[in-house]
Amino acid sequence: MQKYFHSVRLDEEKCKGCTNCIKHCPTEAIRVRKGKARIIEERCIDCGECIRVCPNQAKLAITDGLEKLGDYKYTIALPAPSFYGQFKPEIPPEVVLGGLLTLGFDAVFEVPVAAEAVSWAIREYLKGVHPRPLISSACPAVIRLMQVRFHSLLEHIIPIESPMEIAGRLARQKACREHGLSPGEVGIFFITPCPAKVTAVKQPFSGKSNVDGAISMSLIYGEILRRLETPSSPRLNPLASGLGIGWGRTGGENEAIKTGSLLAVDGIHSVISVLEEIERGGLTDIDYLEAQACTGGCIGGPLVPQNPFVARVRMRNLVKAYSHPEETVTFPRDTAYYRLDAPILPRPALKLAGDVQLALTRLEEAEKIHRELPGLDCGSCGSPSCRALAEDIVQGYAQRSYCIFELRERLQLLAAEMVELAQKQPPAMGREWKQGKEGNGES
């Protein structure tokens, strides 16, 4: 079985087995066994929903630290578009970008600049004849969701790299060209709002990532604010326009594309509803679907320090302030530069067995068990739903007694049977045996 890297991890010491996480996971990748949550690696898409809902902070995201900068001769920070919206209006982007240099980076390359380039590549691709709707490849959590649950829709994913990957490619080429460095001497680090981006760096969909590491926004946010208090903190004039910055919020990608019939959906469970509609043959009148796992877009990521509603207002103001009537950045105009290296393949995460015949047999068994279960989807069994419990049972991962309603019913039947047995007398034990017991003082 393929080994998967995951940024989302579990701290067992903090886990209380409360079952909140299993009810919110979009791929049913979590079970509670022996009082602790367990993550099924092949199902997990690193969306971070469990991080949001865990009241005990038992779920966490593993990201790179600033100490990794020492592994490279020349380091470049890639701030995500959503990073701009984390700071108050009195801290403009040029101060924020300069603040990244104080952390030890040698240069900064704005991901919004790459987002503008990717917007152009998408517009060019939409001119061709392709399955409709085409689906954005920008959100890695959505792509992994489709790999796990929506195999038939993988051909709808637009074969264009994400702005993060294009930014990494452009930044490395620029550094090598201007400073005479080899590609291996340059370290590219994405400032990430979510764990899914970390996983996309560590285990990309195809080939090798153009990014060497991912650092949490929350990790460096406080340090940047502290360093900005010094009067001598550097400044970097932003090159990106409002179109690129807008990619950090829901609808910003579509606003930058500006062509065709476009639809934007955010929130992982809303994304699932839309993908199910497409799977049923709907939404063929839509040319392009912008789908983001986090509510509000990347500004609502699990690793952002600011309230997403506050960040949304700030992003809207930044988009207006940095709007330009014409493109202000130069980028490669060859569509091949932006294409994915290989097709995105499905994950066999939901199979009941590797053998087809055995899988069909188990499916029939699971259907039968599911019909017999109460159908309350309470999660008390440690599985997210009665259906999931039935599948766990046929795969040998659970027992029917895990269902507290079935267990209670079996105990009631057993108790009634014990009472009935206690009232019965074996035929060999007649009247004399009973009198003998009474004579001995037994009752």
Query: Per-residue confidence at 24, pLDDT binned at 50, 70, 90?
Result: very high
Q: Is residue 435 pLDDT above 90, yes or no?
A: no
Q: Which two tokens stand for residue 159?
A: 């074969």
Cα-to-chain-centroid distance, residue 81: 18
Q: Which residue has the higher pLDDT, 432 or 401?
A: 401
Q: How do residues 297-341 score in pLDDT, each as one tens digit?
A: 999 999 999 999 999 999 999 999 998 766 667 889 999 999 998
Q: Which two tokens stand for residue 295?
A: 């509510």
Give the residue range(s) of CATH 3.30.70.20 domains in the chain.
8-61
Highest CATH level, class, for 8-61: alpha beta
Q: Which residue has the higher pLDDT, 289 or 226?
A: 289
The one-letter amino acid code at 335 reads T
Contacts 24+ apart (CB under 8 A), 311-316: 311/82, 311/85, 311/86, 312/85, 312/249, 314/84, 314/85, 314/86, 314/87, 314/88, 314/89, 315/82, 315/84, 315/85, 315/245, 315/246, 315/248, 315/249, 315/252, 316/249
pLDDT at 431: 58
pLDDT at 22: 95
What percent of the chain shows pLDDT beyond 70? 95
pLDDT at 327: 61
The backbone torsions φ and ψ at residue 202, rounded to the nearest 5 degrees and listed phi first, read -75, -35
Burial of 416 (0-12, 13-18, 19+ CB in 10 A): exposed
Q: Is residue 432 pLDDT above 80, yes or no?
A: no
Mean model confidence pLDDT for the chain: 91
pLDDT at 424: 77
Query: Per-residue confidence at 416, pLDDT binned at 50, 70, 90?
Result: confident
Nearest to 242 by CA among 326, 124, 351, 129: 326
121-135, 358-372, 380-394, 401-415, range with the lowest pLDDT: 401-415
Say how far apart CA 81 and CA 65 lie, in whole Å. Answer: 20
Q: Is residue 191 pLDDT above 90, yes or no?
A: yes
CATH architecture group of domain 363-422? Orthogonal Bundle (1.10)
Q: How large is the average pLDDT for residues 358-374?
A: 91
Say how far apart CA 42 and CA 3 lie, in whole Å. Answer: 8
Q: Is residue 442 pLDDT above 80, yes or no?
A: no
Please, are residues 258 and 287 in contact by the beta-carbon 8 Å criterion?
Answer: no
Say how far apart CA 190 and CA 163 lie, in whole Å. Answer: 11
Q: How large is the average pLDDT for residues 383-402?
A: 93
Q: How large is the average pLDDT for residues 63-73?
A: 96
The one-letter amino acid code at 316 reads R
The one-letter amino acid code at 130 reads H
Give the residue range(s) of CATH 1.10.15.40 domains in the chain.
363-422
pLDDT at 220: 95
pLDDT at 328: 63
Q: How many CA atoms lie within 13 A of 46 on its CB side?
A: 28
Strand stretches in 193-339, DSSP E: 213-216, 262-266, 288-292
Q: Is residue 183 pLDDT above 80, yes or no?
A: yes
Say how far apart CA 38 and CA 2 lie, in whole Å. Answer: 18
| Cis peptide preceding 133, ω within 30 of 0 | yes
Q: Taking the C-alpha atoms of 14, 57, 66 and 203 in order, what is their torsion angle to the nearest 10 degrees?
A: 90
Q: How do residues 140-180 score in pLDDT, each as one tens digit?
A: 999 999 999 999 999 999 999 999 999 999 999 999 999 99
